Structure 1
Amino acid sequence: MSECVIRDEICCGLECRCKSTCCDHNVATIKSFVNIISQKWSLKIINVLNEQECGFNELHYLLKDCARKVLTETLNNLIAKNIIVKKVYLKNNVTYSSYQLSDIGCELVRMLYQIKRFSCAYLGD
């Protein structure tokens, strides 16, 4: 097995199977990931949407301390990164929207559970 080294110069010693240009052999892509999940409300929104599809008002109710403006901004950031999907529909001449995890978001949740297991096993308080 090849040694995996994460530094600013080398992505890892393992063979890269990435089919896009994102694998630039530095940690920029990891930093991008960390920036997404380190936003105050991102993980909480992802956690709620992992349980159920929600409309904006329902999300706002479930995340009581999150200001509407911050919720809107965070949702838009997660949509831009293809982590969640916004569905818009018309009902009785009123436009409604709901949010759910995308396939990428579901993959992110699986990875976050692995990180949680790792943290509990090796990085405990």
Structure 2
Amino acid sequence: MSAAHTDVPSVLAHELPRPVPAAEFAACPVTEVFRRVGDKWSMLVVIVLGQRPHRYNELHRAIEGISQRMLTRTLRGLEADGLVDRTVAATVPPSVSYSLTPLGRSLLEPLSALADWAVAHAGAFGRRA
């Protein structure tokens, strides 16, 4: 970007085709991130794991209202996306803990920026004028 365009948000820096082709939208890496960020539980799990690693039951107790099935599905999805690491300790019974990967940790900064924006605009966002 040239110095004259430094105030242009990156999402506006590139011209989109009109209409936006469905296949291009589906293949866009931003779309996949928004799907993950927009699901009900994923970002809450990322935030909790951002504090420190957790064992499964500890994580389940830390998030009120999430079922064991949904927590398992969420953790598997985050693991498949490369955001969460699952570590099994060779104990009897096996001990499983979850932590953020470096990629998952790198999500905390933009997630924090979005959260800060949401708090700053809590009275205005989601309400029609």
Give the TM-score taking structure 2 as reference length.
0.73
CA RMSD of aligned residues (A): 2.5
Give the 5 Å matches for 1:45-84.
45-84=45-84
- What SS class does the counterpart of residue 74 from structure 1 fall into? helix
Q: Check if 1:115 corresponds to 2:98.
A: no
- Superposed CA offset, 1:81-118 (max 9, x none): 01010011122x21110000110011000111122334
Write the letter of the residue equivalent to 1:110.
E
Work out whether residues 56 and 99 of structure 1, in 8 Å CA contact, stay in contact via their aligned partners in 2.
yes
- Which one is further off, 51-60 or 25-34? 25-34
Aligned to 1:106: 105
Distance verdict in 2 for CA 1:75–1:25, change over 3 Å: closer
Higher share in helix: 2
Structure 1 pair 96–117 and aligned structure 2 pair: CA distance change class (3 A): same
Distance 1:55 1:102 in 2: 15
Distance of aligned partners of 1:26 and 1:7 in 2 relative to their CA distance in 1, 3 Å threshold: farther
Please say if residues 41 and 74 of structure 2, whose CA atoms lie closer than 8 Å, have aligned partners that are also in contact: yes
Aligned length: 110
The gaps in structure 1 that reach 5 residues or longer are: 10-23
Unaligned runs of 5+ residues in structure 2 are: 18-23, 124-129
Q: Deviations over 1:51-75 (max 9, x none)?
A: 1210111111111310100000000
Aligned mates of 1:33, 1:69 — CA distance in 2: 22
Query: What does residue 89 of structure 2 align with?
Result: 89
- d(CA) in 2 for partners of 1:50, 1:78: 13
